[in-house]
Structure 1
Amino acid sequence: MTAPSRLRALWGASHPGPTLVVTALAVALGVAAGLEPWRVVVLAFAVFAGQLSVGISNDAIDAARDRAVGRTDKPIARGDVSVRTAWTAAGLLVLVALVASAALGLVMAAVHALALASAWAYNAGLKNTPVSIAPFLVSFGLFPSLATLSASSPAFASPWATVTGAALGAAVHLTNVLPDLDDDAQTGVRGLPHRLGVRWAVILAVIGILVGALAVLLGPVLLGPALQGAAGVGPVAVAFFAAVAIVAGATLVLALTRRPTRALFRLTMLAALLLAVQLVATAAV
């Protein structure tokens, strides 16, 4: 296999969609935190490399499972790239991510290392336990601090931003696995969403999103700004909160009154995406 073919396979195994979304969110938070352009670039590179490592390691660990259920969309399971090559790439990418983070500060590198270790722990086995949500609470809860710790005067994000990040992580976890429940059942994967079932996983995710939305709306007033330029409750903050609340509320009603469908999953993910935008927009006004 040629080097370009391996790179294409590794990119396909990296969960490119979530990787790009998380990287874009890091850039947005970096800009909202008032980072100099070079710091935003390094932050984006560090987060991008780290997310690539998480995605590739996940598919390397799950390769045998994916083959068992016929996941032809998975490059490692298809044999487009070897598990050994995938592990080598994932390990190198973690190193790159931490070196880039260290350029922004040792505390930033340490916090990023903790977030990545949490994500890798999920891949390595926590996904199959009742506490499968814990790595998402930790990694996403720390995520806003990656931007504030990258500043020339580093500081942890305020509690409201941490709560919002954790709420977003919970929603992502509780809904992200729902389309794969049947495949997971065949291979014995039983994390928290599997144990809850589709309806209750969605309900819990929506409640988490609403908690996060309230934290973004009221946190800057009650607990102080997490990012430079954060303001109190203004029209932009109220508008974004209303958008999140409307979508989340509609999702909750459907979850309680209708049979769970894929549309329910999409609505929950839309609410989670709006929460992420609310976090960035409110921090930037």
Structure 2
Amino acid sequence: MDAVARYSYSMLHALLRSSHPGPTVAVTLIALALSVGVGLEPWRITVVTLMILCNQLSIGLSNDWLDATRDRRNGRRDKPIASGEVSSSIVARTALSLAAASVALSLLLGPLAAIAHALFLASGWLYNVGLKSTTASVIPYIVGFGSLPAIVTLAADPPQLARAWALAAGALLGIAAHFSNVLPDLDGDSATGVRGLPHRLGVRPSGFVIAASLIAAPLTIVFGPGSEVTVVSFVGLTLTIVLAVTSVVLVIRNTMKRMLFRLSIAAALINVALLLLSAPQLS
């Protein structure tokens, strides 16, 4: 491997790490599964998937770009920009290019899907720009996750707005995602100047918010469509409630924040599975 190839590989690797690949892959796969579930045409499934992939890569990269100064100040060697593996300007240009690509792809799906996608993209960028350090930090997650079912259903021909229960379930999962993502690092974030809603509420109230949203979400998904409750849905609902109650117990005891985080992720995954099973009834 020559020097140019090694440099290119190193830069791409650094960009990938800056993009928050875990959440990016997860949200993209959810969009793909929902697109298949609602019966979109193959080309529309492809466009939706690529659009959300570009969307999430852009949001992830913008997060590291906009936090670069604070990361350097706090010695975050795990961050590629702060460690000098990639320049801030390259990350910024890549983030903006991917945002533009996602918008261009959304236009192929029609104006309504493009508007819903714009809400999702804007919510992520606004969070990174500064909302994450305010009491409104949860709003981008509510808007972003809540709009995802609508993006998929509005991408159909003819476009259809997702049903209210699907939008509500997405918003509830967004609340759980925000608080679960922040909870393990509350102290570290506060020390670096990040004080969003979970930081201001504290560990115990945040844990209760996670549990409440993770119980409300499956109730919405299982009973919202108005159809007969299946055995699979009932089992999923029961497991989610058990995990949420366990989370409440951990919160009351004020111990094991990392375990609470893992339980929250497990419950969220069950909720996502229930939502995917209900995909044919989204619109």
TM-score by length of 2: 0.93
Q: Counterparts of 2:255 and 2:230 in 1: how far apart (Å)?
A: 38
Equivalent of 1:45 in 39, 50, 64: 50
Alignment of 1:152-167 (within 5 A): 152-167=157-172
SS at 2:82's partner residue?
helix
Other-structure match for 1:213:
218
1:252 to 218, 243, 248: 248
The alignment partner of 1:7 has SS state of helix
Task: Give runs of aligned pairs for residues 1-285 of structure 1, distance below 5 A.
Answer: 2-221=7-226, 231-284=227-280
Structure 1: runs of 5 or more not aligned: 222-230
Partner residue, 1:225: none
**How far is 1:123 from its partner?**
0.3
In structure 2, the residue corresponding to 1:74 is in which secondary structure? coil
Distance 1:150 1:104, change over 3 A: same
Aligned CA-pair RMSD:
1.5
Does the 8 Å CA contact 2:57/2:95 hold for their aligned counterparts?
A: yes
Identity %: 44
SS at match of 2:36: helix
Is there any run of 5+ residues in structure 2 with no aligned partner, and where?
none
Residues in 1 aligned to 2:228 and 2:100: alpha-carbon distance in whole angstroms: 39
Partners of 1:200 and 1:161 in 2: CA distance:
26
The answer on whether the counterparts of 1:27 and 1:43 sit within 8 Å (CA) in structure 2 is yes
Deviations 1:65-99, CA, capped at 9 Å, x for gaps: 11222222211111111111111101100111011
Structure 1 position 256, deviation (Å): 1.9
Equivalent-residue separation in structure 2 for 1:71 and 1:156 (angstroms) = 43
Detail structure 1 runs of 4+ shifted over 3 Å in the superposition: none
Q: In 1, are the aligned partners of 2:204 and 2:254 still within 8 Å (CA)?
A: no
Contact 1:199–1:260 (8 Å) recurs in 2: no
Query: Is the Cα contact below 8 Å between 1:6 and 1:81 reproduced in 2?
Result: yes
Q: Measure, in 2, the Cα distance between the counterparts of 1:58 and 1:159.
A: 30
Post-superposition CA distance 1:256-280 (Å, at most 9, x none): 2342431111111211121111111
Using the alignment, how far apart are the partners of 1:56 and 1:131 within structure 2?
21
CA shift digits 1:128-158 (9 cap, x unpaired): 0011101111111111111111111111110
With normalisation by structure 1, the TM-score equals: 0.93
